[in-house]
Every structure is written in structure tokens, then in C-alpha cells.
Structure 1
Amino acid sequence: MTRWRRDACAIVGIGESEYSKDSGTSVTGLAARAALAAIQDAGLDPADVDGIVRNDMDLVSCAALADAIGARNLTYFGEAGPGGSGPAAMVAQAAAAVLSGQANTVVVFRSLNGRSGNRFGLSAELERSVGGAEAMTEFFAPYGLLAPGQFFALLAREYMVRTGLTAEQLAQVALVARRHANNNPRAQMHSRTMTLEDYLASRTLSSPLRLFDYCLETDGAAAVVVTTAERARDLLRPPALIRAAAMATGPQPQPGMMYPTLMRPDPLCLPSRYCAETLYKRAGLGPSEVDVAQLYDCFTITALLQIEDYGFCGPGEAGEFAAGGELEIGGAMPFNTSGGHLSEGYIHGMNHVVEGVRQIRGTSTNQVPGAAVSLVTSAPPPATSALLLVAA
């Protein structure tokens, strides 16, 4: 395996726009707000920025953001994805640019009007890519598979059949995320509490998934600044060192966005289990040493499957793990402490990176006492990526 340089780079600044249903501004404006906030948080100047990494689904180009924030000259620009698989990989790409000498100060961002603009959960959004973007949708749409919620509902049903997972157990993922959001003033669901009764009474959207099994639709942006660990020591905020980053497709990658992964011999065998193996090996750490996790949660089942894939419980045990309170602060694996995609906002996983840094700094609104190792994951299918952040 290629040698990874542990702790050589760090995230030194974090920034976000407001998370809302209708931002009233362009995605470039949102990206600029988040990027400038991250640069200021690091104690840097926009003129210091010489690299930008974007998401492959972002509508804001690297040049457009550079112009908006006043970056003088980019010596590196790149992108990663697809979509929610990208944020951890985007940070990894920024670190690679820094370590290879192509840039010194790299902004990584994701910006979207995911409610007032492109609504990624709608079938119409995917239909735009039929034939032209290799989404492979045309092979599944005629049979009624039209939206991401239907895909993850199939995974949830398969997992329920195999393990006996109950709706009450799955509900714990949504309930914990909501409780964490209720303590987070930035969260879209900050003021909206939820009980188990509320969850069970919510309408079914794609059986067995209910309304509250789905992530939010959000207008907003999030950004971080990556530079060397050596330089980070002289900057404004405590750095979150990048102990390791990893990406994976698994041994049988498929084309397209997500639907073709249903054709694998085992559709529940997600790339996240292979990503976890690489990540832990590069970090020299194991799941028992992780203090807090920000798990990609476009749906409750997405997070539940990753609990097993990243080694926090055995195969088939994730439902009992969640029902036993292990996702709470004080549990074995506190998760999505900002509220995550289910209750803070859906920024394709970039807000998970921001919250992962907050946990290392000790500034989360749901702080895990003594958190020194923070896991951040990006979407499990069709490919995935992840980070392990540690305190300096």
C-alpha cells in the first residue's frame, strides 16, 4: 500500500453559511460566505488562498469562487465526487496538493440550493442525467426505480429481512440526530423536537422508510481550509490534523450513480467496509480508538450500515447498538453531533467535515468530552471516502 503521511496536513479553518429552505442568493454567493468565514476562522487572508477543491456536482467553478473571495492566483484547482462520496475525498485531494507542493492554502467547499434550486431527491433531477452523464438511470427507471429514497428503501428492507431490524430500532438514528440538532442553533431542525411517536406516525415515502428517515433539503454551503501541520501551529485556531484519508469503490465497482450497485452479489456489501480497512491501516488506529463519528446520513439506513462497516459493532447488530443508546453522547459511538443530514442540513457531507473539526477543537454544541479522534465519512455507494481527524 502506498505510504500515507500521517498528521502532515491539517484543517485550520471552518465556515458555513446559514442553512435554510430558501437562501435568496446564488450558489456562488453561498460558497463565498462559507469560504470567507473559513479563511477568517483560520486567521488568514483571501490573498493567501492558492488552491480550491470543489465537488463534481457543484455549480460553482473554482475560478468563480476565486474571483468571489479575492484569491489572487490559483496554482491548484480540482474536484472529487460523485456527489456525496466526495467531501472526505476533496479534503484528501487538498492535502495531496499541499504535500506535493502544488499549493499552500487550499479551500475545500460545497455549495447548493438544495431546496429552492436543484432538489437531488427528486426523480426529475436524475432524469436530467439519463444518457449523458453515465448515471445508468435509463436501465432502472422503466421499472419504477426513480429516486434515491427508493434505492435506500431496498437496502433497508433487505437488512430488515436478514437481521430482524425493527422500525423502532431504525428510528433511533433519526431521534438521536434530532436531539443533537435541538442543541445546535445552526440546524434547520433546531426548534423542532421529535418523539418516537412522531417518527412512527410520519408518512411512509418508500417502504420501509418514513418521512423522518430522509435527510433534509437544504440551501447552504460549508467550507474548510487545508494547509501543512507545520504552518497550522502558527495560525489562529487549534488545528485538526488529518491522521488519515481513504477512498474506495470496493472490489466490484459499477458504473452510474447508485442503482447499479443493486446488481452486486450482495447489495449490502458497500464500499464503506473497504474504505474503513484502508483508513484504519493508514491511521494506525482502530474503531475502539474513535471518540466521535460524523456518518453520512442521507437516510437513516445509510448511517446504520456504516456503523457495522466501520467496526463499531458486529454484522447484524447495528439495530441493537442504536437502540441501546450507543449513538448518544456518553454512548460507545456518539454520532452526528450537529444533527447531520437528517436534522442539521444536507450539504452533501461537507457539514460533517466541519462538525468533525469542531469536535477536535472542543467547540461542538454537543461536545464529546475529551474527543481526540474524529471520524468523518462520505456517501457509501457507489464509491466512498472518509477521514480520521486528530487533535494536535
Structure 2
Amino acid sequence: MSLRGTTAIVGVADIHHPRGKAPVGERELVLQAILEACADAGISPRDIDGFTSYAGGDNSGPVLAADLGVRELRWSSMVWGGGGGGAAAAIGAAAAAVATGQAECVVAFRGMSQRETGRLGYAKYYFDNNYLPHGVATPAHVCALRTQRMLEHDGVPRSAMRNLVLAAYQHAQNNPGAAGYGKPLDEAGYDASPFIVEPFHLFDCSRENDGAVALIVVSAERARALGRPAAYVLGAAQGAPGGYSAQNENDEPYTSAGFADSSSGTGVASRLWAQARVKPAEVDVVQVYENFSGPAVASLIDHGLCPPGPAAAEVMTLENLTAPGGSLPVNTSGGNIADSFVNGMGLAVEAVRQIRGTSTNQVDRADTSLFIGGPMAPLVSSVLLGSEQTL
């Protein structure tokens, strides 16, 4: 059985506020996002019979089902591990549930209100006594170690990181909802910003927001019957190479973002391409989770979208990375860095917008749209979306 073309995303919602400024709590934000996504899909909230999410949280399927008055709850799941690495996996889980008949209408969601739950980045998830006594207490510390190795040992040029950030800010100038809207960034401004954790400057780091995101997944047949623009799931994969663990910090593919196993040629990215029957060169637009710019560059390399080492400079130019005419347009809403950060799930909504043709930085004839979940985490994931022309 393959997921390819059996399910589709038919409704989306992306709500975000500055950190600590949300007018309501996390549960209310999630419910608001689900209701907006249902309205976008043209379905009743009572039709929802499944929920998927990731990175923990108290807003479980049974609780939300009761709040929404669903007729019957048939599916409720949470992706384990990896924080934002599970973002695309939550969509994959929703698609798997629908494709196998376990549910008919599943919402993949994520909500955040750090005033209630505490700061997301500090000593969460996999940080334990292997890390904390040595001053390693945030994702920035872990990803900085791996990124510095990528720059020094692999020879990936620092310009690759800088241009990814500049592309995000350039896209944000056309997106009135982006946090970076009206705040253009140039190379001098990037270079002058302070280091947070070397090699990450301030602008290499993702934003923090309160908010909620929801995506409605149904069967391809139901999507066509609804008559709304749909983004079809061509493939979805999650996991990590054997031995890859942020706790160990000694795995062989140390500079990998976790999507590729260099020793065997397998891994999340390879499984995604095989399932979707799409080659990396056939991808029209990419939304890549940038907890920090370095892991995002590593993700593009892992997926075969960018060559490793010094040759990365040839692809990772500002011209190539920006829509509409770039050869590899990336993070066309502004991404986590210049738009908003609800644990990365807003990137999935932008991936859908590109297929629908409604992005503020629309890529010409975007028939394939890739969403890459949080890199350099203990678990990572990707999902490839396509237009009906790809089926």
C-alpha cells in the first residue's frame, strides 16, 4: 500500500501572535484554528473523526473532540520525540489513518502559548544529564555543534546559511502577516548582528510565537467532491538513521540533519522520494524548518536538493532561493525565521498555499511542494504535496 495520491489536505489555518501576546490560551487557539480550517475546507467540525499532533501538549484528541462536538472519535495520535522534527510526521500520520480507513477526516494540528507551558527552547525534550552539566541546555547549543562541524569539516560555505536567511526576509516583505514584514534585512545587517551561539547570528535563529495551526486531511475522492483546491499527499516519511541520536553526539553522520543515512543510501529522504515517485530535481518549492539556518541547509543537502561541501555555494545563492524565479525557492512566506514559529507547522500551510496558487510569493506552476520537518532532532520527517496534475 502506498500513500501516493490517496489523501489530500483540503483546509488550513495559521494563527499567530507575538510570544506572550495571544488574547486566549493554547486550547482556545487550537480550537479557533480547527474551526477556521474546517471553514476553509467547507466541512462541519462535527465531521472530524481524528486528530494528530507532535511535540507533546495537553490538547489531546478526546478533549478536542468533546469541545467540537464530533460525532465519533476514531483516531487520536501523537508523534513521539524530536520536537519540531515530528511536524511533517503528524501530517503523514493523518494521511495514513485516512488511507487505511481508520478515519475519514483527520486534523493535524499544533498549538503554542509559552505563557502557559514555559519557554519551548530550554531544557525540553531530550535534554538530560548527558547535556545539562556541560552547559548544553537548548536546541541552539546542539545544532551549533553540528553546524560548526558542517562548516569546518564538510566545507559548506557560511554564505549558504546567510542567503537562506536573506531569502526568508525578502519573502517576508510581501507577506503582511509576517513578523519580518517591513523590516528588510541585507548582508551587512546580518553580519553585524550578534552571535547567539557560534556560528549562529541572531538572524540565524527562528522566532517564537503564540498561535495554532491546523490542516484537514481527507481522502482524495472526498477532496474532489468538496470542490475546493486540494494539496494531495504524494509521500510522507519519518524516522532517523540507526545510531543517530542527539543524546550521543557521536553518531557517524554527525553533520546530517537526520534525513539521510550516508552509509547505506537509505533514510527518511530516500523513502520519501521512492514513495512519491518524484526526484529531487522535480520539486518546485520547499518549506524547510529552520530552527536555525545551519540545520535547514543540512536538510536541503540530505534531500539531494543541494550538493554537500563547497559546491553548496553554487545552489545556495539568494537568486536561486527566492520566488518566483529561483531554481530552489525556499520558505516563501518568510519561514520560521522571518514569518512566524508555531513549532514549524505554519510551513506546512505555506506548502499547501503554493499548490493552491495563493502564496504571497507564488512560484510559477508549483505542482510539487515539499515540507521538511525540524532537522537535527532525534526524529525527523518530511511530506511531499502535489497538485492533481501530479497524480
Equivalent pairs counted in the alignment come to 377
Structure 1 position 248, deviation (Å) = 2.2
Structure 1 position 321, deviation (Å) = 2.0
Which residue is 2:67 aligned to?
68
Report percent identity of matched pairs.
35
In 2, Cα distance between equivalents of 1:57 and 1:205: 27
Residue ranges of structure 1 left out of the alignment (5+ in a row): 130-134
Which residue is 1:267 aligned to?
254
Which residue is 2:284 aligned to?
291
- Are 2:116 and 1:109 aligned? no
Structure 1 position 80, deviation (Å) = 1.0
Which residue is 2:14 aligned to?
16
Which residue is 1:30 aligned to?
29
Q: CA RMSD in A?
A: 1.7
8 Å CA contact 2:235, 2:275 repeated in 1? yes
Superposed CA deviations along residues 99-134 of structure 1, whole A, max 9, x for unmatched, are 222211111100001477522223xx43xx6xxxxx
Which residue is 1:185 aligned to?
176
Which residue is 1:132 aligned to?
none
Provide the secondary structure at the position in 1 that maps to 2:386.
strand
Which residue is 1:42 aligned to?
41
Which residue is 2:96 aligned to?
96
Which residue is 1:368 aligned to?
363
8 Å CA contact 1:19, 1:186 repeated in 2? no
Which residue is 1:307 aligned to?
300
Which residue is 2:264 aligned to?
none
Q: Judging changes above 3 Å, is the alpha-carbon distance between structure 1 residues 115 and 307 closer, same or farther for their aligned structure 2 residues? A: farther
Structure 1 position 95, deviation (Å) = 1.4
In 2, Cα distance between equivalents of 1:194 and 1:7: 39
In 1, Cα distance between equivalents of 2:306 and 2:86: 25
Structure 1 position 93, deviation (Å) = 1.0
Which residue is 2:128 aligned to?
137
Task: Work out which of the residue numbers 194, 199, 218 in structure 2 matches 1:227.
Answer: 218
Structure 1 position 136, deviation (Å) = 5.0
Which residue is 2:3 aligned to?
5
Give the aligned residue type for 1:357. V
Runs of 4 or more, structure 1, over 6 Å off, are none
Superposed CA deviations along residues 312-360 of structure 1, whole A, max 9, x for unmatched, are 2222133442236221111211001111111111122211111111000
Structure 1 position 268, deviation (Å) = 1.1
Structure 1 position 282, deviation (Å) = 0.6
8 Å CA contact 2:166, 2:185 repeated in 1? yes
In 2, Cα distance between equivalents of 1:323 and 1:374: 20
8 Å CA contact 1:296, 1:379 repeated in 2? yes
- Are 2:247 and 1:249 aligned? no
8 Å CA contact 2:284, 2:367 repeated in 1? yes
8 Å CA contact 2:144, 2:199 repeated in 1? yes
Which residue is 2:386 aligned to?
390
Which residue is 2:186 aligned to?
195
Which residue is 1:327 aligned to?
321
Residue ranges of structure 2 left out of the alignment (5+ in a row): 261-266
Structure 1 residues 208-217 or 344-353, which shifts more? 344-353
Give the aligned residue type for 1:42. A
- Are 2:203 and 1:212 aligned? yes
Provide the secondary structure at the position in 1 that maps to 2:237.
strand
- Are 2:320 and 1:354 aligned? no
Structure 1 position 73, deviation (Å) = 2.3
8 Å CA contact 1:28, 1:64 repeated in 2? no
8 Å CA contact 2:3, 2:95 repeated in 1? no
8 Å CA contact 1:170, 1:319 repeated in 2? no
In 1, Cα distance between equivalents of 2:387 and 2:343: 25
8 Å CA contact 2:244, 2:253 repeated in 1? no
8 Å CA contact 1:304, 1:319 repeated in 2? no
Structure 1 residues 44-53 or 191-200, which shifts more? 191-200
- Are 2:343 and 1:341 aligned? no
